[in-house]
Structure 1
Amino acid sequence: MDKRTAALLAAFGASLIYAVNHTVAKGIMPTYIKPFGFILLRVVGAAALFWIAAFWAPKEKIDRKDWPRILGCTVFGMVINMLMFFKGLQLSTPINSSVMITISPIMVFILSAIFIKEKITILRTIGILLGFSGALGLILFGAEVRQDAPNIPLGNALFIINAASYAIYLVMVKPLTAKYHSFTLMKWFFLLAIVINFPVTISEFNEVAWTSLPFDVILKMAFVVVGTTFFTYLLNVFALKTLKASTIGAFIYLQPLLAISFAMAMGADSLNLIKVISAVLVFIGVYLVTKKPKALP
């Protein structure tokens, strides 16, 4: 198998795992574990897995000048990103979460326009406006009366913070992926994430009745830690080494479609007109923002 095919499969695999995660993680919060407690479980489990995996990776020393960037990647990729997503998922619904996080490419473009002066075109401006209109539509008009989603507008707003934080992470991590092995980066990211997340997550972690958890809940927790946290970050970093950012960006469309299909199949969520219109606006917006301008003849 050539490198590009392997990278494409890695990007697809990450999208599929993320898609299933929306419903799986939602199903055990907050009954068995609250969102912040779940994050501590995630980063501790992932740190252990990546440090074990690192024994089979090249032994690399981090350059002193790269530590600030590594710390920044940790804060935006493994702290703010995770905390906001899981808290938002507890408050909102799987379909809303899968649609809202799709605006990450728009956030990446805005950051690129600000910091590296990427060209802003009329089409991209329209895309930004459409994407955020869809997101705001879910926040302002997406409220439903659901026992398992106590504050959908607030949850949807937290998804925007999650998407912005993840966009910053993607921009910051790119130079590091060209320099270090995936295991080297991930083991340090998640070790630092334990330290940073600990003060705000330990109280909810201690509330979990670990000895009385049903077996299916334990399996779902394991899926989130091993699948969503370990394999997806690994697969994404592997894909970034080979694929262009625009190619990886195309997979952002796949995740919500898979997530919506899985959530509906499991009876965990349903579609309505607001969700459909908002999703269409977001998808069109992301397409316009990520579409490469035609080269002048």
Structure 2
Amino acid sequence: MNKNVQVHAALFLVALIYGSNYSIAKEVMPAYVGPYGLIILRVVSAAIFFGVFSRLVIKEKIRGWADNLRSVACGITGIAFNQLCFFGGLNLTAPINAALLMVISPVVVLLFSALLLKERVGWKKITGIVVACLGALLLISSSHTASGTGNWLGDVLIILNATSFGLYLVLVKPLMAKYKAVTVVSRIFAVGAVIVVPFGLNQLLAPDYSAFPLTIWLAIAFMIIGVTIITYLLNTWALKYANPTLVAIYIYLQPVLAILIAVGFGKDSFTLQKALYALLIFAGVYMVSMTKQQVAKRA
């Protein structure tokens, strides 16, 4: 399979999983588990999985002070601060608000890529981001209801999450050029796990887990395996071949996929208006992916 197709397929799957997570996470928190307790379940489980897999299969270590310090920074921005802000914000605001505010992440990536990686920002890339952002804003606004106004603190936390994730995508790129994806992900989750435990330990110990229905356990399993392990692996792998802006631009697909999922369960309707807005998003993704820096050719 063509490498371009593989990269876009991986990023599409990530967008699909993340698009589902906005609604699924709200089913679990705060009724069953507090947001920070849920973060511990996700991050510590992933840290154990990646740690064991890395030691038994990959057997590769991050070398040198510069790379080790960068991996710690990635653990802070990509796991700890990112997750604390996202789930704390999603717990306070409506899913539609969170999806709306997350569209700033590619803009952050573009700025940090220009500043830290000296990546040239061409007019096609800027135009693609603007077009995709416009489509996402119109789509989300058309689905927004009066009951989804959200909480201002939650909205601020989602903005901080988007900024942190954008910075993470830029910081982790050089590490992906030198190490295997599992090696990098294993380290950043280990760093993140150490940081998040003190924040959510009380919320982790509070619930009566024996009273959880099967649907809630399945939702938790989805967030640990799908939203945490699979998405970080696919995103990190994609960064080997694509620039951070292309990875970030797929955030714009999340509201499209979220609406399609809602339609499938009879919770929303898909109109011609929404179809046109979705086409804007896909057009923006296409414009960004067609820039010269789209996918690096590797042997």
TM-score in terms of structure 2 length: 0.79
Which consecutive residues of structure 2, in runs of 5 or more, have no partner in the other structure?
A: 293-299
| 2: CA distance, partners of 1:42 / 1:91 | 19
Cα separation, 1, equivalents of 2:258 and 2:246: 20
| SS of the residue 1:164 aligns to | helix
8 Å CA contact retained: 1:87, 1:158: yes
Compared with structure 1, are the counterparts of its residues 100 and 283 closer, same or farther at alpha carbon in structure 2 (3 Å cutoff)?
farther
Separation in 1, partners of 2:92, 2:280:
23
Match of 1:102 in 2: 103
Q: Could you report, residue by residue, the CA deviation over 1:12-44 in whole angstroms, capped at 9, with x for unpaired residues? A: 111111111111111211100111111011111
Work out the CA distance in 1 between the residues paired with 2:226 and 2:171.
Answer: 23
Name the CA distance, whole Å, in 1 between partners of 2:73 and 2:289.
25
Take 1:68 and 1:110, find their aligned partners in 2: how far apart are those partners? 22
Report the AA paired with residue 26 of structure 1: K
State whether structure 2 residue 171 is matched by structure 1 residue 157: no
Q: Do the aligned partners of residues 270 and 45 (structure 1) sit closer, same or farther apart at CA in structure 2, a change above 3 Å counting?
A: farther
Aligned partner of 2:82: which letter? N
| CA spacing shift, 1:161–1:256, aligned 2, 3 Å | same
> Does structure 1 retain, via aligned residues, the 8 Å contact 2:132–2:281?
yes
Q: 1:284 to 1:5 in 2, by over 3 A?
A: closer
Shift of 1:136: 11
The share of aligned pairs that are identical, in percent, is 39
The answer to whether 1:26 aligns with 2:26 is yes
Q: Is the 8 Å Cα contact of residues 98 and 259 (structure 1) preserved in structure 2?
A: no
Please say if residues 75 and 190 of structure 2, whose CA atoms lie closer than 8 Å, have aligned partners that are also in contact.
Answer: no
Equivalence map 1:130-141=2 (5 Å): none
Task: Label 1:286 to 1:161 Cα distance change in 2 as closer, same or farther (>3 A).
Answer: farther
SS of residue paired to 1:241: coil
Counterpart-to-counterpart distance in 1, 2:131 and 2:243: 25
**1:1-297 equivalent positions in 2, closer than 5 A:** 1-55=1-55, 57-65=57-65, 66-116=67-117, 146=147, 151-263=150-262, 265-266=264-265
- Equivalences, count: 287
- Provide Cα deviations, 1:101-153, integer angstroms capped at 9, x if missing partner: 1211101122234445556789988999999999999xxxx99764xx68433
Do the aligned partners of 1:178 and 1:241 also contact (CA within 8 Å) in 2?
yes
Which structure would you say has the larger RCO, counting Cα contacts within 8 Å and 6 or more residues apart? 1
How far does the alpha carbon of each residue in 1:211-233 deviate from its partner, in whole angstroms, 9 at most, with x for none?
A: 11111100000000000000000
- Shift in Å at residue 162 of structure 1? 0.7
Under a length normalisation based on structure 1, what TM-score does the superposition of the two structures give? 0.79
Structure 1 residue 191: Cα displacement = 1.6
With over 3 angstroms needed to count, the CA separation of the structure-2 counterparts of 1:218 and 1:5, relative to structure 1, is same
CA contact (8 A) 1:103 1:282 kept: no
| Distance of aligned partners of 1:246 and 1:133 in 2 relative to their CA distance in 1, 3 Å threshold | closer
- Higher mean C-alpha displacement, 167-176 vs 110-119: 110-119
Q: Deviations over 1:232-275 (max 9, x none)?
A: 0001111111234454344232222102332455467899xxx9
> What's the CA shift for 1:181?
1.2
Farther-moved stretch of structure 1 (2-11 vs 92-101)? 2-11
In structure 2, do the counterparts of structure 1 residues 100 and 265 end up closer, same or farther at CA, with 3 Å as the change threshold?
farther
CA–CA separation in structure 2 for the residues paired with 1:5 and 1:289 = 15
**Which secondary structure state, in structure 2, belongs to the residue aligned with residue 255 of structure 1?**
helix
CA distance in 2, matches of 1:157, 1:135: 19
- Counterparts of 2:282 and 2:86, CA distance in 1: 20
SS at match of 2:251: coil
Residue 91 (structure 1) shift: 1.5
